[in-house]
Structure 1
Amino acid sequence: MYIKTLLSALAISAGTLAQAGTITGYTDLTSFATDFSSAVTEDFGPSSAFPISTGVLNSATSLATSSGGPINPGDIVDGVTFSTPVGTGNFFNIDGGGGFNGGFLDSLGTSDPRDLTVTFDVAQTAFGFVTNTLMSAFDITINFVSGPSVTQSLTATSGGLEFFGFASSATDITSVVIDGTGSGAFNFALDDFTFTNQPVAPVPLPASLPLLLAGFGAIALTRRRQKS
């Protein structure tokens, strides 16, 4: 048995969810992986490489960094672009440590506020990531193919890693904006960014329901014959 909660349990009000159909929130990576077995995960490699001076990180990135190794084409998975406005210093980094496994994506310091935009090459059904108190409180905005965006404030309260996942009932998520509110040490800090355009699996009918429906059909047919 795994944990799966509606986004309302993550403090997202039902009124903000209407345009995207049913949106489900996940607080457990294992349950997310169970529902979306074809999901792709970007783990940002085993070690640090910073700063990302262009403000753009994707599968085409070819960049020498002043600390750590270079970022080569193919180091980041296909299908997604991570970006933030260009700044100075360590404004956009793959860092190591901080309670994360291997490298994690971050913007150091909150005196220069900035957000992270995650843009998908094609619309996705679901996405998620892990974070911790290095980012702590953050606002997340989910953009769709059509209709208004959904924006909500969430908080990582544990020193360990916490998973935040989001799934739409349609394959309509085009981009995500993650904006740390300054309560942590980083504007944003996250790892294991996972995404998929795998359709949501239909809820299976109870084993007795098809027989029950067949019975209703037989009754209706009998009544029609009796009337004739």
Structure 2
Amino acid sequence: MAIGKATHSAVHEFTVGSWQDEIDQSQAFSTLLIGIRLEKKINLELRRAQETVELCFVLKWSRNKATRMATESIVTLRTLLKAIIFSTWAVSAQAAPVTWELDLQFEDNGTAAGSFVWDSDLNAATAWSISVSGGLFSGGQVLPGDTFSNDSAGHVASVFTQNGFSFIEFRTEDVTYFNGPDRERVLRLGLGFSGLDVLDTAVALLPLVADTVNQFSLTSTGFLDCGNCSPVRNGNEGSFISSPSRTPVPVPLPASLPLLLAGIGALGLVRKFSK
């Protein structure tokens, strides 16, 4: 009887111990599974975090690069725009040419009539057409009429200053007169001590000035007509030329300006949305 109880007790202890071991093993296995699952989840989250960081880095780099490129393009286009605006302003700021009209009379009652265009930027006459009538010159010589024109070969217009006194003159090519040698026909106008600037501004009356400073007066009465430069006939004192208005100069709009403005606007939007 005692043996049976002992045997029963041993079997019971063995069974209880086995169950306890199984429970412990099951709990350990469950804990292991939970640990593995947590490790996988942690690793997954770590990978996601790493990918997020890398993506943010790439996106930030791309955004910065796009912003930088857009900024550089805008700066370049703005520079071009400033250059175009400046060049347009420079063209519009150029002084308009002035057309001067002549209706002059010489001492022998001969005439000089026509006009010339003065460009103050070039300090030169760029176009002219002036006709002088024939008449009686010094020494009793008679010269025929003639025409000074920029459309005629060999005809020139020039300016010069001597002893502070300025002149503008028009010359033909050499011509043969029936009673004289080959020589240029010259029409000379005295502008005075104010220089060539007096031709820059249109005025109703611009007096022609008598030369009183040079040893051999180049325009003793304000203007003259000569054959290089003798024989000569002088004009009437108190004569003038006139310019009622300026010749308008159109300022064209650069053809590329609208496209340039559109490009700057588009790049501005790109930079705005890339922020």
Greater Cα radius of gyration, structure 1 or 2: 2
Greater percentage in strand: 1
TM-score after normalising by structure 2: 0.25
User: Higher relative CO (CA 8 A, sep ≥ 6), structure 1 or 2?
Assistant: 1
Greater percentage in helix: 2
TM-score after normalising by structure 1: 0.29
